[in-house]
């Protein structure tokens, strides 16, 4: 029974890491694209949202 719980936990951790990687890649891809830069300039959109993932232990 412990093996199943551990497998599910590892699976969920892997999905979370995959989510972070895909979200970052899409966000950087859109922001660095020509259309993304055009929309930022046209509508004066600056994303200043901070995430708990932005806090890095090296900053302290």
Claim: this prediction has a pTM higher than 0.85:
no
Beta-carbon contacts of 45 under 8 Å, excluding residues fewer than 6 positions away, are: 39
Write down the domain spans for the chain. 13-42
9 with 2: CB under 8 angstroms?
no
Half-sphere exposure of 35 (CA within 13 A, CB side): 3
Q: What is the pLDDT of residues 7-60, one digit of tens each?
A: 999 999 999 999 999 998 888 888 788 888 888 888 887 666 666 666 666 555
């Amino acid at each position: 029974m412990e093996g199943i719980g551990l497998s599910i936990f590892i699976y969920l951790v892997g999905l979370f890491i995959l989510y972070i990687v895909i979200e970052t890649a899409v966000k950087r891809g859109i922001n660095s694209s020509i259309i993304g830069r055009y929309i930022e300039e046209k509508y004066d959109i600056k994303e200043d949202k901070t995430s708990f993932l932005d806090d890095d232990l090296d900053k302290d």
